[in-house]
Amino acid sequence: MALIHTYSLLALFCGLVPVKQEATVLPEPSCNNILIISGNTNINSFELYYQLKDMQLIVLHDEKGVPFDDTKVHQVNLPLKSFEMDNEFMRSDFLDLVKADIYPDITIGVTQKDLATLSQSNNNLNISISLAGVPKSISIFCQENSCSSGKVVLSGSKVLKLSDFNIYPHNYFGIISIRNDILINFEFIISP
């Protein structure tokens, strides 16, 4: 009985309520620069949101249609402490887990050449991502979508393992444990 009472107090304190564990899917382009990290614990799911308000537009060619240098790297640094989450307690724990005080940004990079190879027949984009100071090269399935405003957005998602970044989830209070898999969903504007 004491364990049930402790769990109930913990759930009330943390705002934890078991929910259906489904990953967020961006249903249609919102024409925003956004990144969502979704994950699960053994009792619920969580999502961290980051809206890139002042991200520089990724442009594939100049105003005359001449492509830029293939070796140009487009890089975005996302401050981890700027990610938002409904549950501040879980947000704080996630920031501790990914060592945000030591490695304050998630860094995402893509070369001009890799962006230019996206087409109807090739929807895989090679990117570099650095989390907790550990860089990884990954291939991610992407698609281009048009918004009602005429903007073109690049969206995609990828399941990553925290352990691939030398992050090993641990138990909180001996009850709550974060799962190793996280889902990254993104949408970036790539044309005006």
Res 59: pLDDT: 52
5: pLDDT strictly greater than 50: no
13: pLDDT strictly greater than 50: no
Q: What percent of the chain has pLDDT over 90?
A: 22
4 Cβ contact partners less than 8 Å away, ≥ 6 residues apart: none
Q: Report the predicted TM-score, pTM, of the whole model to 2 decimal places.
A: 0.72
Comparing 7-16, 78-87, 130-139, the range with the smallest average pLDDT is 7-16
Res 24: pLDDT: 43
pLDDT band at 119 (very low <50, low <70, confident <90, very high): low
Q: How far is CA 191 from the centre of its chain?
A: 21
pLDDT band at 100 (very low <50, low <70, confident <90, very high): very high
Residue 62 token pair? 């100049």
Res 68: pLDDT: 56
Res 177: pLDDT: 80
165: pLDDT strictly greater than 60: yes
Q: Tell me the average pLDDT across 165-175.
A: 78
Q: From the CB of residue 171, how many other CB atoms can be counted at a distance below 10 Å? A: 11
156: pLDDT strictly greater than 60: yes
Res 190: pLDDT: 74
